Homo-oligomer: A and B are copies of this chain.
């Protein structure tokens, strides 16, 4: 059966070029495009055979790209990816990208060249889109690529709603959201959207502090904000890192948590299995996200139908930064 590699060989171009032409998913010179189209016609190639061509040459290895392993969310996620892969008799090839787009592209090339069977990517680079084709077995975590790459995410919108709901239920009256915002489309923006949606529904006012990434000095910005808004008594932060800094600022201002101000974070991942989660936070289902990403790639390679996105439920963890 004709596959994408035959087309690439016939046209004298790389696999990535062929997939970009097929999917119209990135820049290709007109003359190159013509060569690819001619090869497709000559070989009577049908693009929906792509999945099968990958399946036929299994390496039983999968790639994972994270910005850095040295971070509780990414290290726990990577642990669960490897755990699931091992159950399925796959090996994990792991990459810390540090958001270097060249390093990310090298893994996509490995995938195109059938050196790995699939790729799970957590990336915040904005240049990577043009190299990714939705015909490759790639699953993204959180980030929407602008093309149709499949992604797995936790339910950030419901997480934001849940945080607002818990703060109100536990007695806060004057709420605020604190966080940063990236220029790149990503799921975490839904956290503040959920928060606003819930409070708008209740006709409650709220304050927002949203800073453009990268934020130089979160502590100083939060301090200014809380000094200017000294009646705030309930805060939802974009993530646990912000929540911990916010609690420190509150203490520095001579107030107490949770008695004066309740704080809820987002992530819910401790540094290791041994550590207790003391913060009140919205917990991402890290293990389920990892398993779902792996299983989706397996399903793609087996030619099964998969969803375009998987949104997994979050939960509230009651720690010591909210009242009970």
Q: Is A202 an interface residue (CB 8 A)?
A: no
| A271 partner, pick from B72, B94, B96, beta carbons under 8 A | B72
Which residues on B sit within 8 Å (CB–CB) of A93?
Answer: 61, 91-94
Does B72 contact A70, Cβ atoms closer than 8 Å? yes
Q: Is A191 an interface residue (CB 8 A)?
A: no
Segment 176-198 of A: residues with Cβ below 8 Å from B: none
Indicate whether A69 sits within 8 Å of B82 (C-beta atoms), given known contacts A75-B75, A93-B91. Answer: yes
Which residues on B sit within 8 Å (CB–CB) of A274?
Answer: 241
Which residues on B sit within 8 Å (CB–CB) of A251?
Answer: none
Q: Is A255 an interface residue (CB 8 A)?
A: no
Size of chain A's interface in residues, with CB distance under 8 A?
Answer: 26
| A95 partner, pick from B82, B103, B273, beta carbons under 8 A | B82
Which residues on B sit within 8 Å (CB–CB) of A94?
Answer: 78, 82, 92-94
Q: Which 10 A-B pairs have the closest CB atoms?
A: A271-B271, A75-B75, A69-B79, A71-B272, A70-B76, A70-B79, A94-B94, A69-B75, A69-B78, A82-B96
* Contacts A69-B75, A70-B75, A78-B94 known; 11 new A-B pairs at CB < 8 A: A68-B273, A69-B76, A70-B76, A71-B271, A71-B273, A75-B78, A82-B94, A82-B95, A91-B95, A93-B94, A94-B94
